[in-house]
A and B are shown apart, each in its own frame.
Chain A
Amino acid sequence: VDRHVRILVIIFTVVFLAGMAGVLVMASAKGPSDRLPWDDWQSGTDLFGHTGIDDMRQVEADAVIPEEFTEVASVGDRVLHMDEDDLKFILEDTTTGYLWRSYAPDTDIVELNSTLRMQYTSPVVIEYYPYQSQTEELSRTTKRESLAYTDVSVNPISGGVSLSISWLRLDISLIMNVSLDDDGLVVTIPDGSVTEGENKLASVSLFPNFASTRDDIVPGYFIIPDGVGALHRFKPSGGMESVQLNARFYGPDRGIILDGSTSLSMRMTMPVFGAVHGTRQHGVLGIIEDGDAYAQLVMAPSGTNGLPYNTIHTRFIQRETFVFPTNLKGDGITAIQDERNVSDMTVRYMLSAPEDSDYIGIARLYRSYLEDRDILGRKASDSMGLRLELLMSDSERGLLGIRDVRMTSFDEASSIISRLTDVGITPDVILKGWNNDGYSGQMPYDLTLNRALGSRRDQNAFLESMRDLGIDLRFYTDPVTTYGASSRISTRTDLARGLYRRTITDMVEGLLYTERNHILPSVSQTLMEEDARFYDDLGVGAAVDQAAKLLFGVYGNDGFNPRGDSINAYTSGLEAFGDSGLYRPNAYAWKTMDAYYDVPIHTSQFTFYDDTVPFLPIVLGGAVDLYSPLVNFFSDPGPQILRLIDYGIQPSFVVTEEASHLLKFTAARTYFSTSVEVWEPVILSVHDWMKPAFEAVSGSALVSRDIPASGIVTNTYENGVAIHINYTDHTYASADGDVLPGAYLIGGAS
């Protein structure tokens, strides 16, 4: 028996060795090298969301001021007239004689009933939650009221008038000041002037009909700051019913909306809107100066309510309804916010000069407004750069606890970067996942470099070499959202709760983490201050995500703090970094920004939009470095990179040393194409392709952007250079020569 056992043992040993050998053979099997994607990426067409051809008709305006109007104030070329009986205003531009009215045109021709007529002429419209005496509750359905049954008194103030308006039946009153100053017309409702009785205000719309037009009688468009910028051109409604666009500036408020998965829409990051009446004839820029955190842009194309009017205005939300969940699943009752959002409501209207009356001129008008207030200065770098994000590590679930997934070590990072500087590319470098547990691990990041990425000496060598190469190095940080695993916060006291009394939580798909929470703004501020000290010590900059992007109200021991109160915490926190790179920041955070990451290059694709225009790049270009979203995830690289040239946005890439499929089970699974082996040649060729365009116009601003034919753009710059861009699939013959399909041509007086 023993001998048989021995033979068995031998057989097993042999088999075991064979098995091990097999395993080794498997392990050494290596994949072929990945090849460069899209060899022909410069081709391809893009007929998707481009800029259309302008209607160049002259506006036939009635320049006669009706006799019921009296002059109220005049500053420079602007004169304010008012009809005291109907509370109508006219802003006169004396250089052109054009009249901007606060009321809809042709209300006599369009047959309106008295309610609608009131609504389309009133300078203010309120919505309120009616008090129901039977149930002793507020109705959840709002009612709208313009100036019916009101008691109005008009008092002169410096530069204009002050209207004191009382809705007698509703027991609601407010004071609205309309005045001129050097920069234009200012319409404001001081917060202290608002009083309410049992009926509670839901919203206040200021100058709801200012700059409105009928059908396409006036050629022109509205400018909507959605994504990169969108236009709605005036069209006849053609009998079709339209709906209006209600879009919240700075995105939806997660402190009020329980379900975060509602929309992937791009956000409106700038509190502005515009109207052009006749291209290069008359234009107005509206800027929301106060109450922007609660403001909503309302744009109604002709056909809304069955009426032929195009209107655009700002609605200031006073109270919102929210879902108060009463079971674990999240079903609940609809409730109304108790306290009003406390803030002044101010909209400034600035008129543009005739030659600047298009979206370019209006963008530049906004830019000069920001420059006057020291929010923007001219400081962007003149040469073409690119943003290179290095994903260093992330973590996935191990059998026991968390396992590091190392993607790029410090040594590998320096080698990748030096290979680029060797060929003359100086990237703006952002390290992601530099900390323990990597990109998603322990947000907010614990302030130690991940030792798996190299020893202390490797780290120092890396930082040293970045300084030697003159690289602008930044560390990625997200001080606002957390997976709750960080030692730097307490999930008991530091998480933000919404008005619905629950933590503000997003469900995320992943094995390691299933939900992501939001941190209290005050805690975020402290985290940023700590981060700033750590970064200063290392001698690196910050690339801050979310802090300038997300804005939400929080429910605390003292009740609900609406989101306007959070802005201050974020901006002070950002100031601690000095100048930093920000991911898609809202305008209130622009003061400390010196690089803008993920500049949107599209809009939210609302069907109201006719054109996509580079409004945002014109506002910011030359003042801050603009970097595109990650080119890695472009699905139409050719046309999309062409768009970057058109808009003057520098490209961005993310790379890792290791193959990207290793990230599959990490929270960074959305980074599905990062391998440097694949992307290095792409970075080089994209850079080489874009560089001539950037160098030709380096440091000079865009003067005009013409659309000679559908899908063709000719950008002319201050220095006389013209760049022709061909998005179509056929060759275009420009004044400077043929522009190949999907390519660009530099021309003009260079």
Chain B
Amino acid sequence: MNALLLWFHQLGSPPNFHAFAGRWAPWGYAIAIPLLAYGIYSGLFVVPADYQQGDSYRILFVHVPSAWMSLFIYGAMAANAFIALVWRIKLSETLAMCCAPIGTWWTWDARLTSELVLLFLYLGVMGLYAAIEDRRAAARAACFLALIGVVNVPIVHFSVTWWNTLHQGATIKLIGKSTIDSSMVAPLIAMTLGTKAWFVGSLLARARAAMLELESGKDWVKRMALRTSA
């Protein structure tokens, strides 16, 4: 086994993951906070008002990253669900299940019916996970649902082009010229990267706690608990 594969393999062991997540989760938050602070400050006070929507458009700087996060986290959840179902890795099950509540937080800022469907998928994953007694069987069932629900992700993405409703079309494009004013791009990018970094920190912290609970009968947790309580 080469070094990277070995490292990856060892990371899957709960005590190793616990130490790893404890070490790296603060970095996720640490990277996120200045980015979000800059993005929020700039979005609220620096960039000019929109020529049509006035100041009300300023929610853009939380609305758009939130919508993107709801999709991005769903993708992360589905990827982990796939790994969990195929290779039966406990850590992936936990990571997938920890994505669901985080994704739900971001989905409050739903934009369209497809986002509402996404919200229901997140709730369904959490509900299914909570409904089955055996934690690992529950995780596998919920992973399966997460994987099926992934068809909704491109629907959300393309919904603004497929159906002409209240929501405006895409103005930020990876391919071709964006039609958003250039002064608004920098804070938006800061918010986007900030929320991603935050997600990394949050997922590690949540998975760490979930893993600890899942493993609460094991010796390594007992030793840690006695050490911290002493």
User: Do they bind each other?
Assistant: no
Query: A residues bordering B, Cβ < 8 Å?
Result: none
